[in-house]
Structure 1
Amino acid sequence: MGHEEIAARILTTCMGLKHGERLVVVTDAGKVSMGNLFFRAGLALGADAVLVVMSERTADGQEPPAAVAAAMAAADVVIAPTTRSLTHTAARRRATDAGARVATMPGITEDMLYRGAITADYEVVRRRTEQVARILDGGRAVRLISGEKYELFLDITGRRAIASTGVYRDPGSAGNLPSGEAYLAPVEGSANGDLFVDGSVAGLGLLQDPLLLHIENGRLVSAEGPDAERLLKLLDQSPQGRMVAELGIGTNDAARLTGTVLEDEKIYGTVHIAFGSNASFGGSIEAGLHIDAVVLRPQLYVDGVLLVGDGRVYV
């Protein structure tokens, strides 16, 4: 199957694109070839397709230009193969509020169209992800163990979990492609403890050596490891950049560790903690960036009950 055929399958199967619908493909200078792929596929499917190319953003979660945001809000379907993530932006939120179905694909590569998370049985992923989201929805206290001995405690009381299933056919639905995660915004200021990050970090890629992050009252106060300075510099682009924004659980058993967080955070049995913005999914932080950090072999308890451990999700 060729690239364009795969893109067409994604548009029809995952997005439910119909003949005559308004499709906006948002891309940037670093991902123009991927943008063109989905644009051509949309045209072949009979969509009223528009390709929008913007300058590359400097961080995940940075807002696109106003003209791009306006185009997104006027679309039936938005697909965004970009270098940096538009998932947790006000532009994405306005588009879904207007009824658009939105799929963000930050860092997507041609290889990821053929292998890994995109090849999963998405019906299985959907069921598993929704089960995890229901558990998080009813939870209050989270205890996350990473690096076998480091503990991070978070309050999730009253926070609604989002099941990112990879299928966005309903008006106002949105998420990543490929996908497979359940996530929420922990109560701001509630996170305390240490986090051992041994997978990848958005903006840094695959970690050659782990990072140890120290968190107090919902804020990253210090970091240890060879990439610590790079991480802090990335987060310090915004006064709110060090705030704990997200707790997520990977549910896709076909996802691989690639160094691209788009796929890495979906790996079955992993957990990710993000810093920065969370206003687009139930929080109150507007940082202009959103940086995910992936933990490969965690244990995670919700109200004392094991939910993630030994590379498994217990649902």
Structure 2
Amino acid sequence: MRFELIRPAKKLINDVFEIKEGEEVVLTYDTLSDLQVVQITAAAAVEMGAKPVLICVPAPDGVGKAADPQLPLRTLSAALEHCDVWIEFNERWLLYSTVYEQAMKNKNLRYMCLVGMNSEMMQRTLDLDLRKLREFLKKVTERISKARKVRITTAAGTDINFENHPHRPVICDSGEANLPGIYMLPGQISWSPVFESINGKIVFDGSLVPPAGILREPVELTIENGEIKRISGGTESIIFKKWLESFKHRGMFRLAHISLGFNPGAKLTGNVLEDERVWGCSEWGIGYIGEDMIPDIKMEDQAPSHCDGVCLNSTIILDDAVVVKNGVVVDEELMNFVPK
């Protein structure tokens, strides 16, 4: 077991989840996951007096609902509907699958999506000064929540405009998971804008997962009223278009959310969990929309899967005020809270 994982594992269990004695903690993973990460997290939970359960499944071919046919749906759902904490380490994620939807019926559940977490990533993204990072993230979230209009540009060609919805939450992944809810790895801020207001171009120049991983060449999307109308670029853009079309569902061409990355340890690796937290990036989710992000809408026909694309070194403009320029925080107030 790698000793350098002890500290970040304890931070996850103690500082993030605040696990209590007697709590039942389910750790799910698959045959592609990093077993050391799973085991040392379980050990940290035992040290706190919790009762961990480790559940491994064969890695399915797809993610989200596309993984359903290869998952033990009844067994997994039963375990997750009755536990206190669910930490997902699956490489092929259960997030947005039928298992996930069943688990969310557990109103006492604290869930965190740590899909594809490996040993090196655990050190980079969790062995941090979480208190300072939380303070910064909450300040940025406050500014976004007050903004009506947002524009994002990049040197690679992204230029996208949209309006914020007054009744949709701006979710701050600050590393606090001590109350029931859905959580992600610390270092990201996410929200679903007014979909019909999203117009312009998005150019992914970091990664696109699935189906491409780290991009060798940019993939350009033309967006009209929140939907992808055109995909252009090289070979990877063709692969991406065919992947979206393979689901034969219009929802796979719909933007789901925008996210901003602010984890000081994250780097581009091809693992979307880390990629979308690279400092100063903007990331767009496509397809399935998490219902916690759109409390004003009852989704009747969800897309069967989800993917995420990363735009590096973004410029973020909130109501005509530039707060981040080319990936660097330039707002004077926010600069005082940037973790060193």
- TM-score, normalization by structure 1: 0.89
* Aligned-partner Cα distance in 2 for 1:87–1:14: 20
- RMSD (Å) for aligned C-alpha atoms: 2.4
Query: Hey, what does 1:119 align to over in structure 2?
Result: 127
Residues 61 and 88, structure 1, Cα contact 8 Å, conserved in 2: yes
1:56 aligned onto 2:59: yes
* Aligned-partner Cα distance in 1 for 2:149–2:13: 38
Query: Hey, what does 1:231 align to over in structure 2?
Result: 240
**How far off its partner does 1:9 sit?**
3.9
Query: Hey, what does 2:206 align to over in structure 1?
Result: 199
Query: Hey, what does 1:247 align to over in structure 2?
Result: 258
* Aligned-partner Cα distance in 2 for 1:73–1:307: 41
Q: Which amino acid aligns with 1:195?
A: I
Secondary structure, counterpart of 2:253 in structure 1: coil
**How far off its partner does 1:4 sit?**
5.3
Greater Cα shift, 12-21 or 276-285: 276-285
Query: Hey, what does 1:169 align to over in structure 2?
Result: 178
Q: 1:235 to 1:37 in 2, by over 3 A?
A: farther
Query: Hey, what does 2:138 align to over in structure 1?
Result: 130
Residues 96-115 of structure 1 aligned to structure 2 (within 5 Å)? 98-114=107-123
* Aligned-partner Cα distance in 2 for 1:5–1:162: 26
Identity of aligned residues (%): 24
| Deviation by residue 1:250-297 (Cα, 9 ceiling, x = unmatched) | 121222122211111112211111101223332355213221111111
* Aligned-partner Cα distance in 1 for 2:275–2:203: 16
Residue segments in structure 1 that go unaligned for 5+ positions in a row: none
Residues 280 and 324, structure 2, Cα contact 8 Å, conserved in 1: yes
Who wins on radius of gyration, i.e. which is larger? 2
Q: Paired residue for 1:287, among 288, 297, 303?
A: 303
- TM-score, normalization by structure 2: 0.83
| Deviation by residue 1:121-167 (Cα, 9 ceiling, x = unmatched) | 21122112212222222222221112354421222222210001122
Q: Paired residue for 2:221, among 200, 213, 230?
A: 213
**How far off its partner does 1:244 sit?**
0.5
Residues 8 and 127, structure 2, Cα contact 8 Å, conserved in 1: no
| Deviation by residue 1:166-222 (Cα, 9 ceiling, x = unmatched) | 22112x133223x21111012223321111111111122111111111112211122
Q: 1:256 to 1:41 in 2, by over 3 A?
A: same
**How far off its partner does 1:119 sit?**
2.5
**How far off its partner does 1:78 sit?**
1.0
* Aligned-partner Cα distance in 1 for 2:283–2:310: 4
Q: Paired residue for 1:310, among 326, 336, 339?
A: 326
**How far off its partner does 1:299 sit?**
1.3
Query: Hey, what does 1:23 align to over in structure 2?
Result: 25
Residues 78 and 100, structure 1, Cα contact 8 Å, conserved in 2: yes
Q: Which amino acid aligns with 1:42?
A: A
* Aligned-partner Cα distance in 2 for 1:216–1:307: 25
Q: Which amino acid aligns with 1:51?
A: L
Secondary structure, counterpart of 2:190 in structure 1: strand
Query: Hey, what does 2:317 align to over in structure 1?
Result: 301
**How far off its partner does 1:57 sit?**
4.0
Aligned residue pairs: how many?
312
| Deviation by residue 1:74-113 (Cα, 9 ceiling, x = unmatched) | 1111111011334455654664551211111111111112
